[in-house]
Amino acid sequence: MHNAELFETRSKSSSSRIRCQGISKTYPGVVANNAVDLDIQPGEIHALLGENGAGKSTLMKILYGVTLPDAGQIWWNGQPVSIPSPAKARELGIGMVFQHFSLFETLTVTENIALALPPGEARNRKHLAGRIQDISIHYGIPVDPDRHIHSLSTGERQRVEIIRCLLQNINLLILDEPTSVLTPLEVEKLFESLRKLAAEGCSILFISHKLNEVQALCHSATVLRNGTVTGACDPRMSSAQEMASLMVGSHTELGVPYPKVSGGESVLEISSLNAEREDPFGTTLKNLSFCVGQGEILGIAGVAGNGQKELLKLLSGERLTHQQDTIRFSGKSIGRFNPAARRKAGMAVVPEERLGRGAVPEMGLHDNGLLTGFLGGLIRRGFLRHKKINRFAEQVIQQFSVKAHGVAAEARSLSGGNLQKFIIGREILQDPKLLVCASPTWGVDVGAANTIHQALIALRDQGAAIVVISEDLDELFQISDRIGALCHGQLSPVRPVPGTTVEQVGSWMTGAFDATSVPQPEEQIEEHPQEPQEATH
Amino acid sequence: MDIDLITNVLFAMIRSGTPLLLVALGEVVCEKSGVLNLGQEGMMLMGAVTGFIVSVSTGNLLLGVIAGMMAGVAMSLLFGSLALGLRTNQVATGLALTIFGTGLSAFVGTDYVGKPLAGIAPLAIPLLSDIPLLGTVLFRHDPLVYTALILLTLTWAFFRFSRPGLMVKAVGENPDSATSIGLPVLTVRWLAVSFGGAMAGLGGAYLSLAYTPLWSEGMTAGRGWIALALVVFASWRIGRVLLGAWLFGLASIMHLVLQGMGASISSNLLATLPYLATIVVLVILSSNQSKIRMMAPMSLGKPFHSRM
């Protein structure tokens, strides 16, 4: 009987490319995967959906041999296998493109690819370069084999990663949130290549939380929540709302529409800001001019690496401008003020990197609160006032429902979403006149993102000026009142969000500023300066 | 200045540059894999004393050279087990290795201080050594000088053409990425550290067996440190290591030359030249972020914790 059972499981899985059953993985204190089943057919594009922390990355690490599961079985082409290392995964024919690329900047494209191939195949570099070119033409993924990685854009680096996988004759390609670094046009091109690849029989596991992309690309989807499979569906047939509720568990509103307003008296004025790039991997900012008024949110879109980092540094004071008056804040020229002086004047900044720039990983939340909250009476005559410091951190934790083990919890022990809530909360509680934040909800789950968005809107409605620099267009359209995009260090026209389309901003992101000049529908904007917040569930 | 003096100076420059070249070569490979081993001085001294003892006891110089290298390797394995195995701070571990090697070599070598030894004899290469000037400067050295030059060429080719060379560079730039594409980070680092140890041991053995065939306490006289400076001076490029080794070699014999010419400049002052040159190079390098990023191994000195 035991044999019969075994036979049945085998025959069921024999047509699948890969099948997992009962995969479980527990880390101290967290059940990352709980009896997860997954089944992918040859030539199928399968989506793995879930919020951050749902267990997607654990499952994919198990499939790629980075981590071993505590329990469960994997069948590869019908054969039971164990995948103890990435090398074994590649040997089976599993390739993976990580979210953070594993490329070496000082080496060329060919050298990078040669390193990942078995020694025998990579001996002749000229031959390899030829193969790279063949594959890149066949799948429409252009790369130049002789270029050094550091000179490539993010999109180009991703192509190198994909080609590196394809050269290994893989039958399953795992892509971890591949579109988060691409422009809409690049995403479309990537999808074409992936469809071609799938049509040739390669299975693709597409990990994402962007529902519209999953609907556009994938044949089937498995949804994870808290480490458990909550459902499987055909994304072409299901609505985004259905999949979202599988992901987050309740009927969470997607993209709550916030009322749009037009700003008051201008708080921040940037005029003809030019900044030579500091290193060859940076971007030169060219003639940026914009302003932000009281009680409005200005969204700045753009693919990473088009000057966002540089702009943020210049706004925060980490880098000073040549002339004092290129940046004016509340009527004062502050271009050559350092960060502390700018904070004193009422400016707050939330950088993109949470650990290391927004917070010190090894420090407790109370000390991290002190880092930027030092102006709010936390220090007296050079001595720390521990009670006040603790109370400040406590207040942030409570108001922004940060999940942490008390005020002394190390910043690095928090999940990305909770830490981000803490950092943003820390700035908001200081009542800034201007808040500049970069990618406020990057890698943050839907629940935390909603909290952060509501907090930003509430701050706006209190009359603060806010600049949000983000790659996430949906987010920008959701919360900003006016929007512009950065491309190659230049800023597109800045337009009110009502009356601007996603396509328009998409083309700004590729540098086509003029083609989209349309009359501004200034008078169409509704004004709801103090309207109460819409409740979300 | 007459031609004989120039020939002699250049000859001496190559001789005194050779130990620096060997040690720096080992350290470049080690640092390219991302490991900073500051124990060069200690490893050299152990190589010098072991090479000398074995040569005196067996009467076989080749055996002495090999023993010197093995001593260097043994020291580097000690370093590796701490810095790679237990992931201790590399700077502190390296410094400890130098202090340990200085003391241990003095202890082991007590009975051998002042003992005579016929050192490794020069080997004039037929035909080539007859070239006027060049032949005298380049081709009338002892075999270890040639060995150093051959090793330099091999190392250069290793990084230029071979896949393992790429692996070392990749591991030194980004060990996490290297792991994710399946490169054995720790194995690569162990091998690089061992090579560094072998070269430092060889450099030490060169001093006690060829350069000045005798053993005295602390006879490396800071050459391990100069070699470390040399690596930075060469900005981790193999070709520049040769240039730097000869320049630093020249600086270290300059006081003799100047004395010979009747000029009186303190030899202590001249001994600072390699370090001054290194500081100048560091300033030039750090003036431009991209140069640092392209040349220095990005993960240098950081203990590697596998994310698995």
Residue-range domain boundaries for chain A: 2-248, 254-346+432-537, 358-430
Residues 6+ apart with CB under 8 A from B265: B255, B258
In the block, tokens 């409005």 appear at: A296
pLDDT tens digits for B5-52?
888 899 999 999 999 999 999 999 999 999 999 999 999 999 999 999
Contact B174 A102 (CB under 8 A): yes
Residue in chain B nearest A148 by alpha carbon:
B294
pLDDT tens digits for A61-70?
899 988 899 9
Residues B159 and B169: their CA atoms lie apart, in Å, by 8
Residue B188's closest CA among B171, B163, B166?
A: B171
Which site among A102, A125, A127, A281 would you substitute to test the B interface, given the most B Cβ atoms closer than 10 Å to its Cβ?
A: A102
pLDDT greater than 60 at residue B191:
yes
Which band of pLDDT confidence, cut at 50, 70 and 90, is reported for residue A248? low
Which band of pLDDT confidence, cut at 50, 70 and 90, is reported for residue A517? very low
pLDDT tens digits for A232-244?
889 888 887 777 7
**Residue of higher predicted confidence among B251 and A518:** B251
Given B173, B179, B183, which is nearest A105 (Cβ)? B173
Strand A434-438 with A347-350, pairing = parallel
Kindly state the percentage of chain A with pLDDT values over 70: 90
Nearest C-alpha of chain B: how many angstroms from A88?
Answer: 9
pLDDT greater than 80 at residue A114:
yes
Residues B116 and B123: their CA atoms lie apart, in Å, by 21
Nearest C-alpha of chain A: how many angstroms from B44?
Answer: 32
Q: What is the mean pLDDT of residues B226-237?
A: 90
**Residue of higher predicted confidence among A456 and A255:** A456
CA distances (Å), B163 to each of A110, A118, A316, A369, B187, in order?
Answer: 12, 10, 44, 48, 15
Q: Residue A514 has what pLDDT?
A: 65
- Take residue A528 and report the two structure tokens written for it: 């709801």
pLDDT tens digits for A261-308?
888 899 999 999 998 887 666 788 999 999 999 999 999 998 777 888
β-bridge partners, A40 = A18
pLDDT greater than 50 at residue B128:
yes
pLDDT greater than 90 at residue A342:
yes
Q: A356 in helix, strand or coil? A: coil
Contact A278 B169 (CB under 8 A): no
Nearest C-alpha of chain A: how many angstroms from B129?
Answer: 38
C-beta of residue B207 within 8 angstroms of C-beta of residue B219: yes
pLDDT greater than 50 at residue B308:
no
Given A67, A90, A107, which is nearest B170 (Cβ)? A107
CB atoms within 10 A of CB B125: 14
- Take residue B62 and report the two structure tokens written for it: 């080749």
Given B169, B180, B308, which is nearest A106 (Cβ)? B169
Residue B304's closest CA among B34, B108, B109, B48?
A: B34
Residues A383 and A474: their CA atoms lie apart, in Å, by 45
Alpha helices in B33-121 (DSSP H): 40-58, 61-80, 90-109
β-bridge partners, A465 = A296, A434
Strand A228-233 with A220-225, pairing = antiparallel
Which site among A88, A106, A161, A176 would you substitute to test the B interface, given the most B Cβ atoms closer than 10 Å to its Cβ?
A: A106
Contact A102 B181 (CB under 8 A): yes
Which band of pLDDT confidence, cut at 50, 70 and 90, is reported for residue A537? very low
Q: What is the mean pLDDT of residues A104-132?
A: 87
Which domains are present in chain B? Answer: 3-295 (1.10.3470)
Nearest C-alpha of chain A: how many angstroms from B30?
Answer: 18
Residue A247's closest CA among A218, A213, A209?
A: A209
Q: What is the mean pLDDT of residues B138-159?
A: 94
Q: Residue A7 has what pLDDT?
A: 39
Contact A102 B294 (CB under 8 A): no
Residue in chain A nearest B184 by alpha carbon:
A87
CATH class of A2-248: alpha beta
C-beta of residue B190 within 8 angstroms of C-beta of residue B33: no
Given B180, B293, B298, which is nearest A86 (Cβ)? B180
Topology (CATH level 3) of domain A254-346+432-537: Rossmann fold (3.40.50)
Instruction: Indicate the range of A16-25, A124-133, A422-431, B282-291 predicted with least confidence.
Output: B282-291
Contact B166 A280 (CB under 8 A): no
Of these ranges, A76-90, A164-178, A447-461, B71-85, the one predicted with the greatest mean pLDDT is: B71-85
Q: Residue B1 has what pLDDT?
A: 57
Question: What is the torsional sign of CA A266, A272, A277, A281?
Answer: positive
CB–CB contacts below 8 A, A to B: 64
Nearest C-alpha of chain A: how many angstroms from B276?
Answer: 27
DSSP string, A228-256: EEEEEE-TTTS-HHHHHHHHHSS-PPSSP
Given B170, B294, B307, which is nearest A115 (Cβ)? B170
Q: What's the mean pLDDT when you consider all of chain A?
A: 84
**Residue of higher predicted confidence among A99 and A482:** A482
Nearest C-alpha of chain A: how many angstroms from B167?
Answer: 7
pLDDT tens digits for A187-217?
889 999 999 999 999 999 998 877 788 889 9
pLDDT greater than 90 at residue B67:
yes
Q: What's the mean pLDDT when you consider all of chain B?
A: 90
Q: Residue A191 has what pLDDT?
A: 94
pLDDT greater than 70 at residue A1:
no
pLDDT greater than 50 at residue A525:
no
* C-alpha neighbours within 13 Å on the C-beta side of residue A468: 31
Residues of chain B contacting A, Cβ within 8 Å: 163, 166-167, 169-170, 173-174, 176-183, 288-290, 293-294, 298, 307-308
DSSP string, A357-402: TTB-TTSBHHHHHHHHHTTSS-EETTEE-HHHHHHHHHHHHHHTT-
Burial of A433 (0-12, 13-18, 19+ CB in 10 A): middle
C-beta of residue A386 within 8 angstroms of C-beta of residue A406: no
Which site among B177, B187, B288, B306 would you substitute to test the A interface, given the most A Cβ atoms closer than 10 Å to its Cβ?
A: B177
Given B181, B288, B294, which is nearest A106 (Cβ)? B294
Given A106, A115, A150, which is nearest B183 (Cβ)? A115
Q: Residue B50 has what pLDDT?
A: 97
C-beta of residue A494 within 8 angstroms of C-beta of residue A515: no
Q: Which amino acid type is present at position A353?
A: E
Question: What is the torsional sign of CA B95, B101, B104, B107?
Answer: negative
Residue in chain A nearest B167 by alpha carbon:
A115
Q: Do A254-346+432-537 and A2-248 have the same topology in CATH?
A: yes
Q: What is the mean pLDDT of residues A337-357?
A: 90
Contact A150 B178 (CB under 8 A): no
CB < 8 Å to B180, chain A? 66, 86, 98, 102
C-beta of residue A376 within 8 angstroms of C-beta of residue A392: yes
C-beta of residue A480 within 8 angstroms of C-beta of residue A309: no
Residue in chain B nearest A121 by alpha carbon:
B163
Q: What is the mean pLDDT of residues A175-194?
A: 85
Q: Residue A390 has what pLDDT?
A: 94
